[in-house]
Structures are given as structure tokens and as C-alpha cells.
Amino acid sequence: MRLLLDTHVLLWALLEPERLSTNAAKSLEDRENEIWVSPISLWECLILAEKGRVTLEPNPEKWVRGMMRKLLPREAPITSEVAIRSRTVEVDHGDPADRFLAATAAVFDLTLLTADNLLLSGKGYPVLSAAD
């Protein structure tokens, strides 16, 4: 399976793994699965750190760079097709970052791993629940 991590799943996996469902944790540990990350999620991590909602040590930029070197995820590009699809995926969500993640999953045939109920109930992209 090719898993695109929602921002909170990325943070949970690295900072609070106990928040992941058993199924999500197993999916992340399964070496047969590819882990994908969108630059949108990296951007969101940096914003959350700037707002003081998450602590990324030693500093947010180094944390993001180190995480990418440690996890070696595939990076899902932001393309014109992703931008176009972000307006047509069926997501009852006004958050542009979430729409971009759903569109990325749709365009690249990735399974979006999320605990966000609005993304879980969306249509037009594969999704897997990260919550119990």
C-alpha cells in the first residue's frame, strides 16, 4: 500500500505514537508499504510550531529536515493536476491544506492515512483511518 500521511498522523507517528490506531501503527511499520509525505504537511508542521501548538526540537526547520532524512519518505509533488483536483475532490472541508492532501491522494493513487472525520468521509480518493 502507498500511504500518504496526513499532517497529524506524521506528527503522531513521530511524537505521540500511542495516538495511532493499532491498524495505523501496523501499516506504518509494514515494510511492504510505501510512506509518502506532501510538502503541504511539512509546511503545516512548521506553522504549528510557529504557533506553539507543537514543539519540534532542536528547532522546526532542523526537525523537518532530520525527519525527512530519518524516514526517507517519498515526497508527493504539488503539481498543476493536484491544484485542479483540489477543487473537485469531494471533501466537506474548507481547509485548503486538507483539500490538497485529498487531491494528492487522488492524483497519485495514494491512500490518505488520517483520523480527520471530514477526510475519512470524503469521496474520490483512497483513505484509511488512523484512529480507533
The per-residue pLDDT for range 18-74, each reduced to its tens digit, is 999 999 999 999 999 999 999 999 999 999 999 999 999 999 999 999 999 999 999
- Which residue has 487522488 as its cell numbers? 106
pLDDT band at 85 (very low <50, low <70, confident <90, very high): very high
Which of these, 74, 91, 69, lies nearest to 1 by C-alpha position?
74
Residues of the chain with pLDDT > 70, as a percent, come to 100
Q: How far apart are CA 94 and CA 22, in angstroms?
A: 29
Domains of the chain (ranges, CATH numbers):
2-129 (3.40.50.1010)
Average pLDDT value for residue range 118-127: 95
Is the distance from CB of 112 to CB of 126 less than 8 angstroms?
yes
Q: How far apart are CA 85 and CA 58, in angstroms?
A: 36
Is the distance from CB of 127 to CB of 112 less than 8 angstroms?
yes
Average pLDDT value for residue range 80-104: 94
pLDDT band at 93 (very low <50, low <70, confident <90, very high): confident
Cell numbers found for residue 78: 504539488
Which of these, 96, 93, 102, lies nearest to 124 by C-alpha position?
102
- Which residue has 491498524 as its cell numbers? 23
- pLDDT value at position 92? 86
CA distances from 46 to 18, 69, 115, 125 (A): 22, 17, 20, 26
Q: What is this structure's pTM?
A: 0.96
